Structure 1
Amino acid sequence: MKYLVMLSVAILASAAQAVVPATWTHATEADFAKAELKNAATTSLGEVILARKIEIIMPSASAPAVVSAVATSGKAVYAAAGAKPLVFRIEGGKAGKWATLPGAMVCCLRMAGKDLLAGTGGNGAGIYRVSGKDKVKKVWADGKVKYVWAIAPGKKDVLYAATGPEGKVFAVDKAGKGRLIYHADKLAKNILSLAVARNGHLYAGTDTEGLVIQIDPARRKGRVILDAAEKEIAALAVDGNGGLFAATADAAKAGPDGKVKPNSKKAGKAAGKTRPAPKPAAAKKGPNPAPAASQPAGSATAPAEKAVVLVMPPGPSTKPRVPSKVTPPAPPKGKGNAVYYIRPDGLVHTIFRRPVTILAMVMHKDRLVLGTGNGGSIYAVTPDGDEIVQLADTDAKQVTALAVGGPGGRLVFATANKGSVGLIADAPAAQGTLTCKPLDAKQIAKWGTVRVQGDLPKGTRIGVATRSGNIAKAGDKTWSTWSKEHAVRGDFLSVQSPPARFLQYRLKLTGARGVSPAVKQVEIVYQVGNLPPVVSALTATPVVKVSLKGRAVVAPSKVYRMTKITASDPNGDKLTFTLAFREQGADKWITMTDKLAVPSYVWDTRTIGDGVYELRVTASDKASNTPDSALEAARISQRIVVDNTPPVIKPLAAKTAGKTVSLSGQVTDASSRITSIEYAVDSQNKWLSLLPKDGIADSKREQLAFEVKDLAAGPHRIALRAKDIYGNTGYASASVTIAP
């Protein structure tokens, strides 16, 4: 029976503190990712559970660099060397060489009663029976076979052999006679994996194209049921519903260390089990038999980047005819390898995908267990792919082999680079802990509520303790000691850790009768003493076009100033702003607005006279605090010149001499410098640039003296315009007449 457990602490808010406290929430795999775990593990669903105990029974010091295969028999474990034709036997904590086999390497192992069967590679490749120490007998070999990658048992003491490099599957009877039952021909060079279904059908996984082939041994016919986006099908496993799991090991799609970003989503847990898929309808008799799948080829319900189903009806030859190539849209490089579930009706689901190579896979107690590279991790995955748990993170590069039924019912695993053999307990550890990384409140804080939610089966226990300090390094001698650990029983308990900047919590999980409790969420509420807002900048920039009350407004000059405030609050409080102005040198401030909720304001400077001004902003956190505890901060802008008056051009004098007119005058602006002067003759569109008398427009007063030549006889109007730095424009004109 499961219970929802909540552990919390109530703290009264001080009048000197913020009204709204802050909260840390840990509820996802990513939240717990940096915690220190001891005999505990986190799942992809964000649960903390007890981990399985791991025991190394053949350490790297005594193991070959590559352990390629393992098999179990009672209390004994057999391990194969991947680079030498050696088999080791491990029992009672002792490991020793058991047999030397023909060939260059051992590719696979499996038990046949009390005897050990080994598939080897290199010269002398074949299947060999080991009935005792150094008691080796050849079962079967073929001159063209260089590798026996997998062995699977069939009916009537038949053994199936997956071989390379010609992509053949053989059926070997108890007399040692081999019969070819499938040839991949151009589809693959090596058959890498085998699995046998209850109905006697044989499944084979290939290299080259990453195919899964369903073989009928009696008829010696095969058909492709999966064309994966990856190039190798390294492992196969059947389920009890007529479906098949296929694991891929395409090295090009694996990351350098197999690491994956922890899940940061709160997805919940799948409700109930998915009903088994219906079995495909029997194929109709006739010259054109119907495909076994209920959908056409390539109609998998999984996204196209994951897999494409290819169904091939049986042909008249003992070799399957090569199908027309159906190429699945391959996932981008680096997306990782996958475990596909092929339903009895032929449809495919992807239940696992990570940047690893999946080198081994077994079904163990309603979970798929995966051995992976290049990070040397072992994962347990629910058959629907909803939950993933890392069972082990070894110090090797690859987990190469898995076997069930080890000593004490434990799971056996083997590794490479470093080579080793280990056991994973069948039940979770009796006790484990999770210690979170130091949580930083940024300031001295009082600790409020800690709330733990989880499942607490009967007899299990969750305990919680805390400690605090003012140095980021946890456990420094200045930190407080761990508080008394309190059992979670649904009551409210006080947190004893003193106020500080940093806090750690420690969860202790205790199992019962092989069952683990589960922590699903931890919430910690804390309060930092109220700190004043920080105003770091206040600017007022001239703009021509602004949005006022939802409509765009264009000013004839830069009369609008976009006032921007850069402010923050250390407590995360909501801020409101008051804007005021004054002329430079004045004592009193005049408020423009005192209810500004956003850090920007459009200031229409036409409401004040020309001059030099200052702006002041006051930021307040009163919206998040009591009136007595609210704090504020202010900042004054740099001097702001307001100039909405155009330059004046006077006096403008004009003298004619033949076809030439000489003009002179003065341009003056009350507040800012002149930036441009232009003139036009008999036009309001064709303006020509004009330089002041000193050759540069750089002051509030500029002298003019220029000539307009080659005017036609008759009356003319010469116009001048001058602009200041804020876009204010002044005009003047003179009328002249050119004699004929």
Structure 2
Amino acid sequence: MSGRIAKQGKLALIAVCLFATCTGLATAEHARRWRQSTYDEFLKGTTRGIAVRSDGRLELAPKFTQLADADASYLWALKLDSKGTLYASGGSPAKVFRLDASGKAATVFESNELSAQAIAFDAKGTLYVATSPDGKVYRVSASGEKNVFFDAKTKYIWDIAFGPDGVLYVATGDKGQIFSVAPDGKSEVFYASDEAHIRVLAFDGKGSLIVGTEPSGRVLRLRKAKGTGTAEGFVLYETPKREVTALAVAQDGSIFAAAIGERQHNAAVSPGAAPSVTTTTITSTGNVTMVSPAQGTGQPQTPFVAFPPLISSGIYKIASDGAPEELWTSRDDVVYSLGLGGDGRLLAGLGNSGALLAIDGRGVFAQLAKAGSAQITGIISNGAGRIFLCTANPGKLIALGPEYEPEGTYESRSFDTQLFSQWGRVEWWSPPAGPAKNGSNNKEPRLEIFVRSGNTEDPGKEWSKWHGPYSTSGAQLDAPAARFVQWKAVIHDGRPGDGIEWVSLAYEPKNVAPVIDGIALQDPGVRAQGQPNLATGAAPAAVLKFPPAPTQGGAAGTVIVSQTQNPAAKFEMPPQGTIQKGYQSVVWTAHDDNEDELKYAVYFRGEGEKEWKLLKDNLEQRFYSFDATTLADGAYYLKIVASDAASNPP
């Protein structure tokens, strides 16, 4: 920076010259490390046969196989008959599919209603289908003939289930009733709820009916009252959500419930309001919107949407002694289905990401795979430990396990180092190898790492090839120097415990010169000081002029700087200004893309002179004041020099 000082001490700004010095070659910049070790970081990558665990681990996933693309926009429910044959229901229009031994889906039921909402089999293996809205329960013979078994005469049939006594229980809305239908078709109201909708049904090990409701998000246990055909209800748990979407009962008596939506507590209800007209809207995608206050329920009604936009959801466990606990919660995903895996883990089907979660008894969850559809709406398992899934948008049938994938691949997101960088070593940690799940004695490396680099944010054909494989942690990388980098892990052979806890990649950015972003020459007679002078009789305060703030950027992601690197930038107290005759002050801002420690020097020269003279060096603060009356008469220029030499020793 240059300024002109006249004999009378007046300073006139002639020009501004900004200087910075860069000391050392690129190798003088200390190493940094990009490390990935958390669930959120790993989810940003791409998985193929790899599960991502919430405790920050990548491991092989159960084998994921698509069985069939159903001729339906969405599938709602899955059931296995007594022979283990898989059936799935959905729409639109209402259809039920049977998967044959060759994996082909054959239509065994079809009607003009919007959706086949639920299916069930009686003790003889006869298929029953519930349609909705304005639907009925149909009985379907082995030859495919259908007849109406029960007409609920209500807007929605949400679920059906056969009890141990052979009675069919039908959950409905918008009046919140459950009907019991005997084998001969005689029906009665089994339970009348204060809720608008009974959404899901399940039976516990003692034969009691477990139900989930909407809009208060309750889980109830129903037991038949003595001497009557009706039931008495007891609320096991009122979730903090609005709608219970799925239930699962474990062998130890624990009940798992999924619930979605924010519940409006203490909502005002106006008594004696005039009845309104029910309006039902059906979209081309199968969504159903109903607007009507539920008659006699005492609950305000809001539109029901089959596939709601992203709203909050949670999964809750009710222990056999009745104690509830929250297992999982999200503000980004909706839980549509629950099931139990052969390994005892709870399975949850999500929307609108189409992901499948597995949650163990410790609350650790893993994203096993993505279905390639927007929602996983049904989960069921057979006696051999195989899991079946149905999906919506589009409707698919998928099998999971019990065997594990023979090989899994994980590709990280691309990482921006912010500067052109050389690559160092790649390190990782994984558990010790166990015996192969497929019984083989393969001695090949079970884990291999590959790395590639490029100078565009999105990896593509303009990047380098994949370099590797690296099978030993600490290997030196061969990828060419660039700004962006990406790693890939391949896990082989499907052995227990195969996985990765963390991956760390070392790099050295090219050392670049610091940048002085702005400079502000103060008015004559203003002195800048690091600490305000609070002594009695102190000089009056003056307002300092500050230059623009630095434009320094930062690399996104987890970056670890080695111990030899300078610590994080120190907080610098802004200077304070006071009025002091004869003083001249200058304030500047600067940054270093390498985050090096900077020191500053201030030089001056007279007008017409060529040699710069040092006024002050080794300055850590970004301002300087001096007594201009000590200078000879004339005009002068100032120069500010920033140096990163302290962080880059020779």
TM-score, normalized by the shorter chain, greater than 0.5 = yes
The question of whether the paired residues in 1 share the 8 Å contact of 2:49 and 2:369 is answered with no
Post-superposition offset of 1:525: 1.0
Post-superposition offset of 1:545: 8.0
The question of whether the paired residues in 2 share the 8 Å contact of 1:351 and 1:384 is answered with no
Distance in 1 between residues matched to 2:206 and 2:58, nearest whole Å? 40
SS in 2 for 1:563: strand
> Do residues 353 (structure 1) and 330 (structure 2) align?
yes
Alignment of 1:471-620 (within 5 A): 474=459, 476=461, 480-488=464-472, 492-513=474-495, 515=496, 517-542=498-523, 547-549=529-531, 551-552=533-534, 554=540, 555-556=578-579, 563-603=586-626, 605=628, 612-620=635-643
SS in 2 for 1:32: helix
SS in 1 for 2:494: coil
Aligned to 1:463: 448
> Do residues 238 (structure 1) and 249 (structure 2) align?
yes
The question of whether the paired residues in 2 share the 8 Å contact of 1:580 and 1:617 is answered with yes
Residue 107 of structure 1, aligned match among 93, 114, 117: 117
Post-superposition offset of 1:324: 12
The question of whether the paired residues in 2 share the 8 Å contact of 1:102 and 1:124 is answered with no
Percent identity of paired positions between Structure 1 and Structure 2: 27
The question of whether the paired residues in 2 share the 8 Å contact of 1:560 and 1:602 is answered with yes
Post-superposition offset of 1:350: 5.5
Distance in 2 between residues matched to 1:341 and 1:597, nearest whole Å? 58
Post-superposition offset of 1:435: 2.7
Alignment of 1:278-297 (within 5 A): none
CA displacement, residues 184-231 of structure 1 (integer Å, 9 cap, x when unaligned): 1xx323211112223443221122333222322345211334444433
Distance in 2 between residues matched to 1:306 and 1:604, nearest whole Å? 69
Post-superposition offset of 1:593: 3.2
Alignment of 1:329-478 (within 5 A): 336-343=312-319, 344-349=321-326, 351-364=328-341, 365-383=343-361, 385-394=363-372, 396-405=373-382, 409-459=385-435, 461-469=446-454, 474=459, 476=461
CA-based RMSD: 3.7
| Paired residue type of 1:508 | V
Residue 164 of structure 1, aligned match among 153, 167, 173: 173
Post-superposition offset of 1:390: 5.0
SS in 1 for 2:30: coil
The question of whether the paired residues in 1 share the 8 Å contact of 2:77 and 2:89 is answered with yes
CA displacement, residues 64-112 of structure 1 (integer Å, 9 cap, x when unaligned): 2232222124552212133444322112222212234796642212344
Distance in 2 between residues matched to 1:559 and 1:347, nearest whole Å? 75
- Residues 516 and 110 of structure 1: is their aligned pair in 2 closer, same or farther, counting only changes over 3 Å? farther
Distance in 1 between residues matched to 2:470 and 2:188, nearest whole Å? 67
SS in 1 for 2:401: strand
The structure whose RCO (Cα within 8 Å, separation 6+) is larger is: 2
Aligned to 1:738: none
SS in 2 for 1:574: coil
SS in 1 for 2:513: coil
| Paired residue type of 1:43 | R
Distance in 1 between residues matched to 2:59 and 2:108, nearest whole Å? 39
Post-superposition offset of 1:183: 0.6
Distance in 2 between residues matched to 1:393 and 1:612, nearest whole Å? 75
Distance in 2 between residues matched to 1:611 and 1:623, nearest whole Å? 35
Post-superposition offset of 1:509: 1.0
Aligned to 1:298: none
Distance in 1 between residues matched to 2:349 and 2:616, nearest whole Å? 66
The question of whether the paired residues in 1 share the 8 Å contact of 2:74 and 2:391 is answered with yes
Post-superposition offset of 1:122: 5.4
| Paired residue type of 1:353 | S
| Paired residue type of 1:118 | Y
The question of whether the paired residues in 1 share the 8 Å contact of 2:115 and 2:133 is answered with no
- Residues 501 and 548 of structure 1: is their aligned pair in 2 closer, same or farther, counting only changes over 3 Å? closer
Aligned to 2:218: 211
SS in 2 for 1:455: coil
Aligned to 2:49: 39
- Residues 494 and 247 of structure 1: is their aligned pair in 2 closer, same or farther, counting only changes over 3 Å? same
Aligned to 2:272: none
Post-superposition offset of 1:401: 2.1
The question of whether the paired residues in 1 share the 8 Å contact of 2:217 and 2:243 is answered with yes
SS in 2 for 1:17: helix
- TM-score norm. by structure 2 comes to 0.71
Distance in 2 between residues matched to 1:335 and 1:544, nearest whole Å? 58
- Residues 39 and 561 of structure 1: is their aligned pair in 2 closer, same or farther, counting only changes over 3 Å? farther
Residue 205 of structure 2, aligned match among 194, 198, 213: 198
Alignment of 1:252-331 (within 5 A): none
Post-superposition offset of 1:246: 2.0
- Residues 523 and 564 of structure 1: is their aligned pair in 2 closer, same or farther, counting only changes over 3 Å? farther
The question of whether the paired residues in 2 share the 8 Å contact of 1:118 and 1:129 is answered with yes
The question of whether the paired residues in 2 share the 8 Å contact of 1:456 and 1:518 is answered with no
Distance in 2 between residues matched to 1:48 and 1:546, nearest whole Å? 55
The question of whether the paired residues in 2 share the 8 Å contact of 1:114 and 1:131 is answered with no
| Paired residue type of 1:238 | V
The question of whether the paired residues in 2 share the 8 Å contact of 1:433 and 1:507 is answered with yes
The question of whether the paired residues in 2 share the 8 Å contact of 1:341 and 1:351 is answered with no
CA displacement, residues 104-141 of structure 1 (integer Å, 9 cap, x when unaligned): 64221234456154341359955445452415566x52
Highest Rg: 1 or 2?
A: 1
Distance in 1 between residues matched to 2:29 and 2:132, nearest whole Å? 75
Aligned to 1:149: 158
- Residues 85 and 525 of structure 1: is their aligned pair in 2 closer, same or farther, counting only changes over 3 Å? closer
- Residues 359 and 440 of structure 1: is their aligned pair in 2 closer, same or farther, counting only changes over 3 Å? closer
| Paired residue type of 2:242 | K
Residue 181 of structure 1, aligned match among 175, 190, 210: 190
CA displacement, residues 47-74 of structure 1 (integer Å, 9 cap, x when unaligned): 2223444333231xx5122322221245
- Residues 192 and 143 of structure 1: is their aligned pair in 2 closer, same or farther, counting only changes over 3 Å? closer
| Paired residue type of 1:121 | T
Post-superposition offset of 1:39: 2.5
Aligned to 1:120: 130
The question of whether the paired residues in 2 share the 8 Å contact of 1:119 and 1:147 is answered with no
The question of whether the paired residues in 2 share the 8 Å contact of 1:115 and 1:130 is answered with no
Post-superposition offset of 1:558: 7.2
Post-superposition offset of 1:523: 0.8
Distance in 1 between residues matched to 2:492 and 2:146, nearest whole Å? 48
- Residues 613 and 381 of structure 1: is their aligned pair in 2 closer, same or farther, counting only changes over 3 Å? farther
Distance in 2 between residues matched to 1:389 and 1:336, nearest whole Å? 18
The question of whether the paired residues in 1 share the 8 Å contact of 2:201 and 2:212 is answered with yes
SS in 1 for 2:87: strand
The question of whether the paired residues in 2 share the 8 Å contact of 1:41 and 1:51 is answered with yes
Distance in 2 between residues matched to 1:122 and 1:154, nearest whole Å? 22
Residue 644 of structure 2, aligned match among 621, 624, 632: 621
The question of whether the paired residues in 1 share the 8 Å contact of 2:528 and 2:624 is answered with no
Distance in 1 between residues matched to 2:328 and 2:362, nearest whole Å? 6
Post-superposition offset of 1:427: 3.7
CA displacement, residues 625-648 of structure 1 (integer Å, 9 cap, x when unaligned): 22x3xxxxxxxxxxxxxxxxxxxx
Post-superposition offset of 1:154: 3.1
Distance in 1 between residues matched to 2:419 and 2:145, nearest whole Å? 72
